Structure 1
């Protein structure tokens, strides 16, 4: 499933070429960070988990068989590392709702478009943060990272049919949260 370029990159990393590993990190760092930020809702934690992800990638590269794309493998590690962090967070019981905000969006055509998009993004980000982490992660992979169900199946190790059901339920939850968030705003603006 690996391309010739990916095979050569992995072989080079396994031989100790640090530039090759930097190339791998540079290729996937933004995507990993986006996933971790959406799942964790906190920039500092997302940065830490992103770094942990690449440490795990480096340490387990020797065992990577190449039966999936590198991107799928890296996403699976990032997703599982996020879940580990969430479990740790729950065991320490220091989850703070205030941490579930502050999303940054870049490059808009005009100042007005930027403001509208930032507000919409902030709203979606806040609503995603209110969902269980698994739902937020799934929605992020499918909609924001535009992964196919087959790619997500490989990342999460969950059958496509189960993913369809989970995605349907996650969308329903997000719609309910969005509706609950928008109703007071609509009533306030029309009242």
Structure 2
């Protein structure tokens, strides 16, 4: 959807049409959840953070001035909520538990291509779990949410040049994790 259409929806919400906010949720729920999940690495916490992010965005809608894209503003809220959740979990003594069954690896029965795509996606997701929350955030924002470097800078508060360097390093680390996992997979079938 074009930014102009999104701004029209936002205007409706600001004028008190609360149902219009449902359109925003439908447009961004997957991206918001994925960003939170990549940072937190726990499905239940990510769902909670995503929900909290939408509630916070709704409550703060009047403060959105349109200086940046709405998605940038919403991802910034999600990013901050995710970091706060990690801090809260650490204070409470929760560790990051990662359950492979919780990874989004739904496989449907539409043939070998779908099976291979699902396996490839699962393989990449497992490699991503070995990376830091910041690396996951940068990769998710850049590749999955298709944010530009300027938007990532606004969302994370990290200088654009630093984002470039960290993205490069994150890609290299992801490549290393994938190669290591692939090596293990090959050795296991020998």
TM over 0.5: yes
Listed as ranges, the matches of 1:55-94 within 5 Å are 55-94=55-94
Instruction: Specify whether residues 95 and 40 from structure 1 end up closer, same or farther in structure 2 by C-alpha distance, changes over 3 A only.
Output: same
Work out the CA distance in 2 between the residues paired with 1:88 and 1:101: 24
Listed as ranges, the matches of 1:29-48 within 5 Å are 29-48=29-48
The residue number in structure 1 matching 2:9 is: 9
The residue number in structure 2 matching 1:164 is: 164
Which stretches in structure 1 are left out of the alignment for 5+ residues?
Answer: none
Work out the CA distance in 2 between the residues paired with 1:99 and 1:59: 33
Work out the CA distance in 1 between the residues paired with 2:169 and 2:13: 40
Work out the CA distance in 2 between the residues paired with 1:110 and 1:104: 17
Work out the CA distance in 2 between the residues paired with 1:43 and 1:27: 20
The residue number in structure 2 matching 1:124 is: 124
Instruction: Specify whether residues 56 and 132 from structure 1 end up closer, same or farther in structure 2 by C-alpha distance, changes over 3 A only.
Output: same
The normalised TM-score by structure 1 is 0.87
Instruction: Specify whether residues 115 and 102 from structure 1 end up closer, same or farther in structure 2 by C-alpha distance, changes over 3 A only.
Output: farther
CA deviation profile, 1:62-94 (whole Å, cap 9, x unmatched) = 212210011111111111111111122222232
Instruction: Specify whether residues 180 and 116 from structure 1 end up closer, same or farther in structure 2 by C-alpha distance, changes over 3 A only.
Output: same
Q: Given that residues 101 and 122 in structure 1 are in contact (C-alpha distance below 8 angstroms), is that contact kept between their aligned partners in structure 2? A: no
* Shift, 1:4, TM fit: 4.6
The residue number in structure 2 matching 1:147 is: 147
Q: Name the Cα RMSD after superposition.
A: 2.3
Secondary structure of the corresponding residue to residue 146 of structure 2: coil
